Amino acid sequence: MQIGIVWSGSAERRLSLEWKVTDVSRIASTAHSTAAHLSVRDVSLSFGGIKVLDAVSLEADAASVLGLVGPNGAGKTSLFNCISGHYRPSSGSIRIDDAEVLTMAPSQLATVGLARTFQHPALQLKATVLENVLLGGHSRLSGEVFSWGFRVPATVRGERSIRKEARELLDRFRLGWAADEPAGDLSHGLHKSVELCRALLARPKLLLLDEPAAGLSHAEIDAFIESVAEIRSSFDLTIVIVEHHMGLVSAITDKVVVLDNGRKLMEGTAAEAQQDPRVIEAYLGTSAVG
């Protein structure tokens, strides 16, 4: 079994990405988690008197793929930032399984299984690719200042295990050659794959993907569609994705929620959204239907 995502922007060193998983069962066995259920209830958010989100509610069932779509400025990324703890809503509730997100600091959310990527990858460009990926495993490392300072054997073993997994992920993404290179030397497309490796190293139950297909070619999008299905199956994840490419959304999502001006406009399948007159008027346009 294999999955592939290919970014083919540069010929030098074949700066391409093709993720092949030849032992999916082994990867799945390392993911000691079950897919999470996400519940967003009546979430409102304002900036300087401007209401960005207005009583938005949605549900993402465990092991499903939920698409969050809408025109620019609809509030999609703002809702992502509320779920990931970067914004604090003025009212509402956000729960990952039984954990109330709004009572937790952003640094605590990895402990309940949340990981995310960004539209513009948030990497430490002067750090190596491996160091960037290792950041995804921080919540899995145990030990206090003493054990780290004195390199207690159990702490060292844990660090080595995480490092080994990080290198395996990079190898599967055909980025093993770049492990010790500064992240800033890689292309934008490869930054996305490094960030995805980092998110998967956290062994998340809920993965938020913010416009992962931005800038990809048609062939790369086709490969990404196959990859999302395999990632969900192999890693037992729930995925929530913000994406403008409706072909991709139609292919990979079980359900979509359409936002417009900070409000939920409709909820249903991607096919239903594409034929809904309200959605067509607010976002798609008649030329995008079909």
Q: Which residues contact 112 (CB under 8 A, 6 or more apart)?
A: 36, 96, 97, 99, 101, 104, 205
Quick one: which H or E segment has residue 284? Answer: none
- Segments of the chain scoring below 50 in pLDDT: 1-32, 150, 286-290
3-state secondary structure of 162: helix
- Where does 12-124+204-288 sit in CATH, by number? 3.40.50.300
DSSP for 248-282, please give it.
HHHHH-SEEEEEETTEEEEEE-HHHHHH-HHHIII
Spatial distance between the Cα atoms of 140 and 223, rounded to a whole number of angstroms? 30
The whole-number pLDDT of residue 126 equals 93
The whole-number pLDDT of residue 20 equals 36
Quick one: which H or E segment has residue 55? Answer: strand 50-60
CA-based nearest residue to 119, from 169, 66, 170, 78:
78
Spatial distance between the Cα atoms of 134 and 263, rounded to a whole number of angstroms? 37
The whole-number pLDDT of residue 144 equals 58
Contact 205/33 with Cβ under 8 angstroms?
A: yes
pLDDT, one tens digit per residue, over 74-90 is 999 999 999 999 999 99
Contact 170/189 with Cβ under 8 angstroms?
A: no
The whole-number pLDDT of residue 289 equals 42
